[in-house]
Structure 1
């Protein structure tokens, strides 16, 4: 492969937290295969190390792919129809894209040189096969690497069977022995591989067939027994299998190792292991306590039991100790035990109820200062929300609750732009025959709002009409808002204004009870502006901005800032416009709202022209062209919007010769979203990385959040910060979540670095 390093390092591969051992031959062979073929599948038994090898392989190949290497984790996904959207999410493509997700994904990848790693495909083989075939045909520069217990059986696929680590017992160090020694030293600091114990360790690894997961589970036992005792216990375990080693397949070897780990657990640990299998992916402590507590595992003592499972490597701890998960093989074993206990249906219902309660809490906080933190929390729980919806909507006795969960999640999907996800669940809910007329109308309204954003007004019209006739004043106001959007996007400004004014009059009486109701303000301001009524547009936008400042709500507030910025711009108040648009951009960035980001960047383009930054304006045009293509949505915003974009381009062309203009636009088209945002702010593209922005130039934190950030920088834990400020720890947790989201960070270290820069830039204090 040709090495293209312009964007070397792009992607989302996780950092390795333990030493990678062995597999030199497999790595070399896989690299050779990927140099001459475009689809490589690593197959092998569970626990053999396919994922770890694939991630190391992808890491080694990063510099060969100008557009990066991207990991898509599929173990928590059980709906094949969501596979294209899941891949798009991993590639950080916006959820607001119009059209079929697979088509949009194909368009995005068409000109990319990229490696896609699809991990854990065996339960979605048909879907992964179809996806791979379509994407490889659409994107000549694409390579796909998959891990699966069986091949995809796709034309052109090369299958590389991953065998367990070799255990020869010769004079050189075997990889299996090296793995055991490395993990054992981490688990039992007093352990060291030596001439005295090498033969014992070798026999132990041979009895475990060299399967990495089995070896790692065994190494944990050195905390409580010697390696000699460990070998004897494993001998006993395999004697119980009733077959010779030659007659024992590797699947049974791994199962025996897992069963032994299970038998060495206490009854409360065994019960929790089984119950935790109800989570499809990762989960937090609150969820574990709410879903899995009871009987053998008291909720107030669950943290201690969970900690013991972490110590035994049954459960993995992630994200600074805030999230937990189990490996697929371990979770599958737990699910078998859960079925044997007969607790499966009850646990699935408890799981659903927990996430319904979480969604209700988020919905109740949707109009206040905690909105952003709750949206981020729901985004972290998306896999669990999917399982809760699937359980409810596919169980006849639970359909009513499924409808409720769908309705409660409407604001979450809309605020984060998860349109494809929302469309799927709304259409599932619309198929429930037992739904009440009002519930059907509310779900229909939600499906229609999504369809409008996806550029399908004809799908939306009858659903809005049904909502208007449902006999519910609030639903009628929402439906009028939806009809106004169709009129706006089709260029019928008088009709759009009439619908919006009627909807706002209704909400003034009923109350603005959700973010979508508030959005009538920015939309009305936009219509007035397009009608040439700049002063009226500014007044409406100003009123909506004040509302957001009073409540702390951020999603609608960002649209209000955009609308006010646009009005200021049309009134010639350019500095005020740029200030509002940059403030809007900060919020949109924290939400990951790529549609909102693109809208703001579009309006910042003429600001660059007025400021004499013509090259930057041309680059922003190129960047937003790419972003609109990714969204597939610019045309649906109507003729007035398209005319405004064309005017911006003509203004730049009047100031730049054609060749420099095209060159700058081409460079802008290659920018990432983060780089485009940095460009609009007047920063170097390299400053777009998390933690690199100049803090004082755009400090989005409240006074209290700055206090918390300073204490984080001192190294205090959340509990210590709560004691220092005399507030609840839960409040501190929320503040830290807000800080991370607003600054675009993912660690406390980045907060500390940001705070240090801010203090340094502010200068000495009196």
Structure 2
């Protein structure tokens, strides 16, 4: 399945997996706040439901915004400097320029009307305020909705405090909500809802309704009855109406009756109130949350508690295999971990993530914080973070070795699922440069940075790792050439050449022939990008230093010979270029490789365009487009679509050419560096535009171009790859 390039005009909001109960007043107040400010922060204690409220508000607002609403999850981030990259990733924005990431974001958002939801900002407060102000100043139609336990402190910020759900005071009943048979009637349910003018405008029954609904998910047929009503109300009061605490309590009703649950909660709260004054001084809802989580912890088995603590080191989601490698030891055997994960999920302490393949799990931030506090109490935090780092270091090492082979699609999917953990491992490694792990991890992730659409983030991590660890080593040398290749993708030929030359020198000092080949590959790629004609004269003879081999496939081999083909095409030696590229394509096919083979198809298409063999060029471009789309390689996709536009214009299909140019344009806008700065490709696109304009006239050209710009890119690419793609699709 192809990976979404950009869900245009829709956004990326998570699915609402449960119904929002209550919060009508807060939603109405958010509507009023949007009239006064474009930056609103929903604040409140952990577990109060800030994220759920923000999601509902975003779903309501999104249809009114031309470019939709976009969810940015911030809880896995360890540093404020990572915030702009998280925003870019959420927007499917991959900058292929060396401009500062905030400038790239500001430029991209300037003409767009959309909502950014920044979820869980409290640990990044110092970064959030200035980033928000800069983006809002650059983009007059941008809105930001943040969730945080604290205000951001930005000058333009408006704040919506959110408290627990209201609960009937002691002695109140549910307003006559019960039917004569003792069950909650439809009319009674309505009376448990909002009654204007009472309290804060939310119905007294919201906390009760939440418990009843969540309990029914655990115990089918569960209902509020005359027999359990007073006990249910007592449970909600003891939990202070805090949604997370109520949900954790409801999850236990699969094991205990309502009266048993109430007694255990009462005992737990009484025990907590005998603790030191630091607990007694907490607001009631803090005590309630601590009661619910601590009580859940108490009723876990010792093995479940230990896994809960150890699994808190994961950022984002993780699978059982990772948990076994990171968390297992003699006290927690690996074979028990899958069953323990399921047990924690059944207790609502882990969330199962939807999707194909192996089950993945995620902890809510509040649950993770509790587990992390126990991990520190056990004195195991540093050890587990080292194990987490080393697991992902090993994963990156395996991915680096396997990338140029038949499992490329699987590795793309795998690292995509593990990006949050890879980032967390990198951040931890960067705080301990004496271990020399950061340069190794960042360098081994070259295939993620270069091939999977994360060059800007790769530049960020590689430069930090290289600055933190200046000791000559094979790992640092790999990071040098990886940084050089990232700069090639970002269109910085000079910067790439400097890093590549440093890598070659380091490899020669180490006497490492393989690393020298990688450094030389980067030198030649940078030269071909900067000036292909000059590169052939100055560096062409050095290609032979990387010997051609039919029996082995390596990144330096294919990249170097593809760079040579670019040089040959630039000077008009297209037949030689085609011969080289056919060799590259053949060896890639033999080894089941997709990414480099697709680039050989793109370069073959460029060479065939130069020979005016337009049908052949289009066939090569379509072959490349399939693989590049599957790998989420937007540079490759946009380049292939450009070639198809040139072929269409050259065969008299000007309307199709204009539409394809528009489709490619919306992708180039997310990249920041049209045609990756390659002069010959820029010139070819300009000629295509002029040819289509001349054939159609300006009004018709603009109409077709705009249609290409406005279509969802995944839909557009699917159409291009279909047999119907001889004319642009007609609007529905």
> What's the TM-score once normalised by structure 1's chain length?
0.85
Establish whether residue 221 from structure 1 lines up as the match of residue 257 from structure 2.
Answer: no
Q: Does 1:290 align with 2:321?
A: no
- Post-superposition offset of 1:497: 6.1
Map 1:546-565; keep pairs closer than 5 Å.
546-565=586-605
8 A contact 1:484–1:496 mirrored in 2: no
Q: Note closer, same or farther for the CA distance 1:83–1:510 as it changes in structure 2 (3 Å cut).
A: farther
Give the match for residue 531 of structure 1: 571
The answer on whether the counterparts of 1:115 and 1:145 sit within 8 Å (CA) in structure 2 is yes
For the pair 1:620 / 2:657, whether they are aligned, the reply is: no
Task: List per-residue Cα deviations over 1:347-367 (Å, max 9, x = no partner).
Answer: 112111211221222122112
Alignment deviations for residues 169-207 of structure 1 (CA, whole Å, 9 cap, x no partner) = 440310000000001011122522112211211111011
1:563-610 residue CA offsets vs partner (Å, 9 max, x unmatched): 122223333333322222111011111111111111111111022224
Alignment of 1:384-463 (within 5 A): 384-399=421-436, 401-433=437-469, 435-463=471-499
Return the match for 1:313 from 348, 368, 375.
348
Once residues 614 and 544 of structure 1 are traced to their aligned partners in structure 2, the CA distance between those partners, rounded to angstroms, is 33
Partner Cα distance (1:144, 1:653) in 2: 39
The reply to whether residue 377 of structure 1 matches residue 414 of structure 2 is yes
Report SS of the residue matched to 2:266: helix
Does residue 589 (structure 1) correspond to residue 625 (structure 2)? The answer is no
CA distance in 2, matches of 1:459, 1:39: 38
* Paired residues of 1:674 and 1:688 also in contact (CA < 8 A): no
Select the residue among 200, 209, 212 that pairs with 2:231. Answer: 200
1:241 maps to which residue?
A: 272
Q: 5 Å matches for 1:316-335?
A: 316-320=351-355, 322-335=359-372
Cα distance in 1 for partners of 2:473, 2:336 equals: 45
Matched, 1:300 2:335: yes
> How many Å apart are 1:14 and its aligned residue?
1.4
> Hey, what's the Cα distance between the residues in 1 that align with 2:398 and 2:469?
28
CA contact (8 A) 2:444 2:479 kept: no
Secondary structure at the residue paired with 1:112? coil
Contact 1:497 1:528 in 2 (8 A): no
Please say if 1:567 is aligned against 2:607.
Answer: yes
On the 8 A contact 2:392/2:425 being kept in 1, the answer is yes
Give the alignment partner of residue 179 of structure 1, picking from 210, 216, 221.
210
The equivalent of 2:22 in structure 1 is 22
Output the CA distance in 2 between the equivalents of 1:647 and 1:47: 58
505, 521, 526: which one aligns with 1:469 = 505
Evaluate the alpha carbon distance shift between residue 118 and residue 608 of structure 1 in structure 2; reply closer, same or farther with a 3 A threshold. same
SS at match of 2:695: coil
What does the per-residue CA deviation read over 1:354-408, in whole Å, with 9 as the maximum and x for residues that have no partner? 1122122212211211022112201211111112122223214422x33222222
- Deviation digits for residues 433-488 of structure 1 (CA, Å, limit 9, x no counterpart): 46225443332222222223223333333322222323143333333333333333
For residues 432 and 282 of structure 2, what CA distance do their matches in structure 1 show?
A: 43
1:518 to 553, 558, 568: 558
CA deviations on 1:255-289 (whole Å, 9 max, x unpaired) are 11100100011101111110110102110110011
Greater displacement, 475-484 / 614-623: 475-484
For residues 670 and 528 of structure 2, the distance between their equivalents in structure 1, rounded to whole angstroms, comes to: 22
- Cα displacement (A) at 1:540: 0.9
Cα 1:510–1:398 change in 2 (3 A) is farther
TM-score, with normalisation over the residues of structure 2? 0.88
- Is contact 2:216–2:223 with CA below 8 Å preserved after alignment? yes
Match of 1:121 in 2: 121
Distance in 2 (alpha carbons) for counterparts of 1:90 and 1:482: 30
- Return the offset for 1:654: 2.3
From the superposition, tell whether residues 683 and 345 of structure 1 become closer, same or farther in structure 2 (CA, over 3 Å). Answer: same
Q: Which runs of 5+ in 2 are unaligned?
A: 1-6, 176-190, 193-204
- Whether 1:361 aligns to 2:401 is no
Deviation at 1:677, TM superposition (A): 2.1
Q: Is the 8 A contact 2:44 2:50 kept in 1?
A: yes
Is residue 31 from structure 1 mapped to residue 31 from structure 2 by the alignment? yes
Aligned to 1:281: 316
Q: Does residue 672 of structure 2 align to residue 632 of structure 1?
A: yes
User: Following the alignment from structure 1 to structure 2, what is the Cα–Cα distance between the partners of residues 570 and 503?
Assistant: 23
- Superimposed CA distance per residue, residues 729-762 of structure 1 (whole angstroms, 9 cap, x where no aligned partner): xxxxxxxxxxxxxxxxxxxxxxxxxxxxxxxxxx
- Superposed displacement of residue 511, structure 1: 8.3
Q: Which residue of 2 aligns with 1:255?
A: 290
Structure 1 unaligned runs (5+)?
1-6, 690-766
Stretch of structure 1 that moved more, 626-635 or 160-169: 626-635
Measure the CA separation in 2 of the matches of 1:575 and 1:73.
Answer: 45
Is 1:278–1:347's contact at 8 Å kept on the other side of the alignment? yes
Distance 1:396 1:494 in 2: 40
Partners of 2:478 and 2:503 within 8 A in 1: yes
Between the aligned partners of 1:247 and 1:314, the Cα distance in structure 2 is: 23
What is residue 50 of structure 2 aligned with on the other side? 50
Cα distance 1:297–1:636, how it changes in 2: closer, same or farther (>3 A)?
closer
Q: What is the match of residue 343 of structure 1?
A: 380
Can you list the C-alpha shifts for 1:90-123, whole angstroms capped at 9, x where unaligned?
0111253441111111111111110110000000
Asked whether the 8 Å contact 2:646–2:685 carries over to 1, the reply is: no
Q: Who is 2:4 aligned against?
A: none
Secondary structure at the aligned position of 1:48 is classed as coil
Query: Post-superposition shift, 1:669?
Result: 3.0
Q: Shift of the alpha carbon at 1:32?
A: 2.2
Change (3 A) 1:484 1:562: same
Q: Deviations over 1:136-155 (max 9, x none)?
A: 01111111101000011111
Deviation at 1:688, TM superposition (A): 13
Structure-1 separation of matches of 2:118 and 2:554: 38
* Contact kept? 1:678, 1:688, Cα under 8 Å: no
**Partner residue of 2:681?**
641
Shift of 1:516: 4.5
| Corresponding residue to 1:210 among 241, 248, 262 | 241
Within the candidate set 274, 296, 301, 1:266 is matched to 301
CA, structure 1 residues 660+190, in 2 after alignment: closer, same or farther (shift >3 Å)?
closer
User: What is the root-mean-square deviation of aligned Cα atoms in Å?
Assistant: 2.5
1:236 Cα deviation from its structure 2 partner:
1.4
Choose 638-647 or 72-81, whichever is displaced more: 638-647
